[in-house]
Amino acid sequence: METEAVRESMKKEAYNPYLPSWEYIPDGEPYVFGDRVYVYGSHDFYNGYVFCMGDYVCWSAPVDDPGSWRCEGVIYRKTADPLNREGKMNLYAPDVTVGPDGRYYLYYVLDKVSVVSVAVCDTPAGEYSFYGYVHYEDGVRLGERPGDEPQFDPGVLTEGKDTWLYTGFCGQGDRSRTGAMCTLLGEDMLTVRQAPRIVAPGCEYSDGTGYEGHAFFEAPSIRRRGDVYYLIYSSQVMHELCYATCDRPDGSFTYGGVIISNCDLHIDTYKPAEQPMAYGANNHGSIVRIGEKWYIFYHRHTNGTWYSRQGCAEEISFREDGGIPQVEMTSCGLNGGPLKGEGEHPAYLACNLFTDEPSVYVGDDRFPKIVQEGRDGDEEEGYLANMKDSATAGFKYFDCRNVRSISVTARGYIDGAFEIRTAWDGEVVATLPVAFTNVWETYTADVELPDGVYAFYITYRGGGVAGLKSFTLGCGAAK
């Protein structure tokens, strides 16, 4: 008979990114249905040239084993929408809600129109069928009536027979876009019962509101915790997910703060607050309760571009007043604690990536990047490329016991060394000289670390351009 201890021992460690390194699902909307957590998002390609090139796919994991993700397959194809039979438009970020009839409704916007489409399915991750467009009682589609603001990034919440739809996009300098909108839909999940109301301002209308510097940009997502509604959104600087709260779904939300930044800006627990520690860009995600813990789902950028994004997650907490303190990016988000400080760890788990020249945003060939071999769909493990002099990869956190050596597996036209630190600005604890190789080679150095929880920062110093596949922590008896 399988015991609880056996089940615990069989669980996989949970990493960031939480999906395989060859999968690119940004804009994650997480939900717990039954005993599994499901993530719905858009679908980027590796080496993609625009956002959201793929059909919608869904992944899920057991709520008590969030390291064991399963691909549920394609749940909706872009050509299923009558406006997109030729597939010339991409499916932007979706959201899902359970309607009053118990069916699952998928809300989305195509990339060249300003109306909200809806698909439906009897199960969370089956094949969704096109259902209709959100429209007014007279049949005019939301977003097409004179005076309507274009619809974008739908987020949905159903309570009883009411479904609240949140949409909006507010670029800097565009005063035609006011803020995040909330629209009440009827029991049919399509018909507007209450016209859009502005619930959070965009940057052109944020003066004097408390949102200054963190005004609504895009990606509205709505959750309820107790009697408080939380509006999660991407702010005007794009790399951060913020939250605002209200005691009603269509009221005027009050700005709360930043939950996460995908370049770790504002975090001052391990480095100066305004020092970026990764290459950020747009962000999109939401919060969810899994078991007794709450998490923020967000995405990071790979391949040195905006267009190959991967889902990550971090545990969050709530203050007594309902506020959410900002959390830092880690390599162990859903794990419930640090990773095991032993054995080999792939380099794509890097949660920090930077050089001596700070940069908040992605997209410059001077900087290191996460890549993979092959083309999109090839199940090749990711690694770090373009590691020039001063390029640093940070990995957090590891529970280390009896660590006696550290190794790196690298390749490239290089002549230099990898330096190992346990803080981004800490003392070097090991130096591993490396030389020219066009195949992966492993280099090892002795190191003795007192038992404890550590971060590891690996910096390349020298000439040429290195690739980093992994690092290995060797454990043994004390000398």
Which residue among 23, 27, 29, 81 is the active-site one?
A: 27
Q: How far is CA 228 from CA 221, 262, 299, in A?
A: 14, 26, 25
246's CB contacts (< 8 A; 6+ apart) are 199, 228, 229, 231, 252, 253, 254
Nearest C-alpha neighbor of 21 from the set 308, 246, 215? 308
What is the enclosing helix (H) or strand (E) of 85? none
| Strands in 308-436 per DSSP E | 309-316, 339-341, 343-346, 352-354, 369-371, 383-387, 392-400, 403-421, 430-434
Which residue among 55, 218, 240, 250 is the active-site one?
A: 218
- Residue 219: CA count within 13 A, CB half-sphere: 29
Largest CA distance in the chain: 80
Q: 60 is written with which tokens?
A: 């899920």
218 is catalytic: yes
* Whole-angstrom distance, CA of residue 298 vs CA of residue 457: 23
DSSP string, 260-286: EETT-TT--SSS-TT---S-B-----E
| Other Cβ atoms within 10 Å of 31 Cβ, number | 20
Q: 468 is written with which tokens?
A: 């980093």
Q: 189 is written with which tokens?
A: 């999940």
- Residue 298, strand partner residues: 312
Question: Residues with catalytic annotation?
Answer: 27, 218
